[in-house]
């Protein structure tokens, strides 16, 4: 599956890499005390998650969208969002993701960037850098 394949390739990043079905986890994060216990009446939400579980940011893989098929190869576009407390860190994470998925011009990986991303500020108090990558399947199997 494409989202699992992307997660496997990004495993070495050293930050949490979340699958599409885990999208709500940061939003539902509850503040934890240093010993790991939940704080009664503590803060919740993404900024607390960033503070406590992902100080270096995290990567959210979005559900790959089917774009088309010619009968043999299927084309999917998978967006990967890098969320971090600063724009520099969001961009740095996004460049690392790009390198791991797409490789280099002269040594390419299986993915190809289709929509580039730049860090964008979200009023929730964090920076988001979201790029879209093209994934192909051959005869119904992920390549």
Cβ atoms of 112 and 131 closer than 8 Å: no
From 55, 108, 124, 125, residue interacting with another protein (rule: CB under 8 A) = 108
From 41, 70, 104, 123, residue interacting with another protein (rule: CB under 8 A) = 104
From 35, 40, 70, 139, residue interacting with another protein (rule: CB under 8 A) = 139
Which residues have a Cβ under 8 Å from the Cβ of 106 and sit 6 or more positions away? Answer: none
HEC profile of 109-120: CCCEEEECCCCE
**103 scored as a contact of another protein (CB under 8 A):** yes
Euclidean distance between CA atoms 30 and 41, whole angstroms? 9
The residues pairing with 38 across neighbouring beta strands, listed in sequence order, are 32
Could you say which residues in the range 44-83 bind another protein, by CB under 8 A?
A: 73
Of the two residues 43 and 112, which places its CB atom closer to another protein in the complex? 112
Query: Min. distance of Cβ 13 from another protein in angstroms?
Result: 15
Cβ atoms of 82 and 93 closer than 8 Å: yes
List contacts with another protein (CB under 8 A).
73, 103-110, 112, 136, 138-139, 141-143
């Amino acid at each position: 599956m494409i989202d699992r394949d992307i997660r496997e390739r990004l495993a070495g990043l050293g930050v949490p890499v979340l699958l599409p079905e885990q999208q709500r986890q940061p939003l539902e994060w509850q503040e934890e005390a240093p010993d790991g216990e939940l704080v009664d009446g503590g803060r919740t939400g993404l900024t607390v998650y960033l503070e406590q579980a992902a100080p270096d940011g995290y990567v959210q893989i979005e559900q790959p969208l089917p774009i088309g098929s010619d009968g043999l190869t299927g084309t999917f576009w998978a967006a990967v969002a890098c969320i971090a407390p600063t724009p520099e860190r969001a961009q740095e994470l996004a460049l690392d993701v790009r390198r791991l998925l797409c490789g280099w011009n002269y040594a390419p990986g299986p993915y190809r960037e289709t929509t580039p991303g730049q860090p964008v500020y979200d009023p929730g108090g964090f920076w988001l850098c979201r790029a879209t990558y093209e994934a192909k399947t051959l005869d119904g199997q992920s390549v």
